[in-house]
Amino acid sequence: MMNYDLIIVGGGAAGFFTAINVAENDPKLKIAILERGKEVLSKVRVSGGGRCNVTHAEFIPNELSKNYPRGEKELKGPFHTFMTGDTMEWFDRRGVTLKIEDDGRIFPVSNSSETIINCFLSETKRYGVEILKNHAVKNFYQEGEQWFVETSQGDFKTTMLMIATGSNPKIWKIVQDLGHQTVDAVPSLFTFNSKDPRIGNLPGVVTNASVRVKHSKLSSEGPLLITHWGMSGPAILKLSAWGAIELNACRYNFEIIVNWLQHYSQQEVLEELKALKNQYPKQQISKYTQFELPKRLWQSLISASEIRNDTRWADVSKIQLKTLSEQLTQGVFMIKGKSTFKEEFVTAGGIDLKEVNFKTFESKKCHNLYFAGEVLNIDAITGGFNFQNAWTGAFIAAKAITSG
Ligand SMILES: Cc1cc2nc3c(=O)[nH]c(=O)nc-3n(C[C@H](O)[C@H](O)[C@H](O)COP(=O)(O)OP(=O)(O)OC[C@H]3O[C@@H](n4cnc5c(N)ncnc54)[C@H](O)[C@@H]3O)c2cc1C
């Protein structure tokens, strides 16, 4: 039976980051990555539309942690040890320069995830980390100080074990047998489906909006993108992540209230509409957009207020003005179902965080058992935060593994 100092289950982002940091800290250790697939790092390859959104330009630990609907509290401490700036420096030291885009997302300057993959492969090669593909791990258990790992291609022995299997729930049963609790998986990043006629002809329209889920405390604001199927963009994706469990419970059938003018109240908007009526009595209401709204959206909301597009401001009734102010600030939309966001399916759920020591990412139940990445019940909104969780956990675990 092959014997190692450290076995890492899962050849993804967290697995490789652990391997490289452990090997750098202590090159004498014998390390293997066991990967069930034919290839390693396949999610890194497709991530960020093939560009790999490595992390996000938020440099204050407490602010960074606010992007994690699950994991916010637990990651605050770890981010003080390893976060965005450290990630950038880590890659920079290995010849991978990263750049910050206008929206804060950070990518390799090459605009290719292959750069990250090549970096990881050359680093593991340099340190002699064994990468065993087509090795699906079926079971692991501890006897004395030794871990035994059963795979589709034979059994292995190791002193330390890192579980970095991402969102594969198959591993959870094994971990439950070791005394860990797990939280069921639900999708966490998705767009909202809606057949509402007000947005039916507007795919591609983007505007800043605030959105609330009716009968819930869930709310968010930011760019809202109208799509062929409904709504997307940061305002919606944030709601999908923070509401992952609540929206799953109502089977993705719920109502949202959209304020297309973000911070204006209905009363303020009504006053403004009355002022416009006085100012431009002869002008057609639909001719010029108001409140800097995209013109097509403005025209659609006028129609939804039962105002004909050729109506002049002078002929708009008080009731119509009130309806328009409601459409602009309190539009109710029925959501029926969800869609995947750019193939980027992230799941909430995983190893319950209560039983993990976030100073080391070691199990509180079993000595020398570590977890990092999406296997934990941690997930984030889109923008590079999910990888940052993987880097942070892996880095801290590597430090703990080599300081014991
Ligand atoms: C299309 C897409 C795009 C994304 N883009 C981004 C992005 O740009 N930025 C961002 O921050 N996040 C992004 N994400 C999320 C991000 O990819 C994940 O959060 C991240 O990969 C998690 O890393 P991980 O190492 O925990 O898991 P993974 O990267 O999923 O790695 C887990 C590995 O474990 C292996 N494995 C599982 N079970 C076993 C087993 N029993 N035995 C052996 N091996 C096993 C799997 O095959 C896999 O290779 C994206 C996700 C998707 C799907």
Regarding the beta carbon of 137 and ligand 1, being less than 6 Å apart is answered: yes
Helices (H) and strands (E) in the chain, counts: 14, 21
Q: Report whether pLDDT(173) > 90.
A: yes
Which residue of 42, 47, 64, 161 sits with most ligand 1 atoms within 8 Å of its CB, as the best mutation to test the pocket? Answer: 47
Question: Ligand 1: which atom is nearest the Cα of residue 10?
Answer: 34
Residue 166 CB less than 6 A away from ligand 1: yes
Shortest-distance Cα residue to atom 29 of ligand 1: 12
The span from the CA of 296 to the CA of 186, in Å, is 35
* 116 band by pLDDT with thresholds 50, 70 and 90: very high
Question: 196 alpha carbon to ligand 1 midpoint, in Å?
Answer: 35
Name the residue of 107, 165, 382 whose CB sits within 8 Å of the most ligand 1 atoms, as the mutation to test its pocket: 165
Q: Is 171 in the pocket of ligand 1 (CB under 6 A)?
A: yes
Q: DSSP string spanning 90-125? A: HHHHTT--EEE-TTSEEEETT--HHHHHHHHHHHHH
Best of 131, 342, 386, 391 for a ligand 1 pocket test (most atoms within 8 Å of beta carbon) = 386
CA of 36 to the centre of ligand 1 (A): 13
> At residue 61, does pLDDT exceed 80?
yes
Residue 63 CA, ligand 1 centroid: distance in Å: 24
| Sequence-distant (≥ 6) Cβ neighbours of residue 313 within 8 angstroms | 276, 277, 279, 280, 281, 282, 283, 284, 285
Q: Which two tokens stand for residue 236?
A: 């919606």
Q: What's the CA gap between 291 and 42, in Å, rounded?
A: 45
User: What is the arithmetic mean of pLDDT over 244-271?
Assistant: 96
Question: In 3D, which of 38, 39, 40, 47 has the Cα closest to residue 15?
Answer: 40
Centroid of ligand 1 to alpha carbon of 178 (angstroms)? 23
- What pLDDT is attached to residue 73? 98
* Domain layout of the chain by residue ranges: 2-187+342-401, 190-340
Q: Identify the DSSP state of 376.
A: B
Amino acid making up residue 18: T
Give CA–CA dist 69/385, Å, rounded.
11
Q: Rounded to an integer, what distance in angstroms lies between the CA atom of residue 119 and that of residue 222? A: 35
Joined tokens for residue 12: 């993804």
Instruction: Give the CA-trace dihedral at 275, 276, 280, 283, to 10 degrees.
Output: -150
Q: What is the pLDDT of residue 373?
A: 97
**Which tens digits make up the pLDDT trace of 357-391?**
999 999 999 999 999 999 999 999 989 999 999 99
Task: Output the average pLDDT for the chain.
Answer: 96
**Cα within 13 Å of Cα(112), Cβ side:** 6
| Atom number, ligand 1, closest to the C-alpha of residue 343 | 1
Rounded to whole angstroms, how far apart are CA atoms 247 and 231?
A: 15
Q: Are 327 and 301 in contact (CB under 8 A)?
A: yes
Which residue's C-alpha comes closest to atom 2 of ligand 1? 344
Backbone angles phi, psi at 102, to 5 degrees: -55, -35
Q: Compute, in angstroms, the gap from residue 45 CA to the centroid of ligand 1.
A: 10
What's the pTM?
A: 0.92
- In this predicted structure, what is the pLDDT of residue 309? 86
Q: What is the atom index within ligand 1 of the atom nearest the CA of 386?
A: 11
Q: Hey, whose CA ends up nearest to atom 52 of ligand 1?
A: 344
The pLDDT value recorded for residue 341 is 77
Percent with pLDDT over 70 in the chain? 100
Neighbouring residues of 347: CB distance < 8 A, sequence distance ≥ 6 = 167, 185, 186, 187, 188, 374, 379
Residue 346: CB within 6 Å of ligand 1? yes
345 pLDDT tier (thresholds 50, 70, 90):
confident
Structure confidence at residue 347 as a pLDDT band (50, 70, 90): confident
pLDDT digits (tens, 9 = 90+) for 4-55: 999 999 999 999 999 999 999 999 999 999 999 999 999 999 999 999 999 9
pLDDT at 245 over 80: yes
CA nearest neighbour of 346 among 205, 261, 242, 207: 242
- The correct answer on CATH 3.50.50.60 for the domain covering 2-187+342-401 is yes
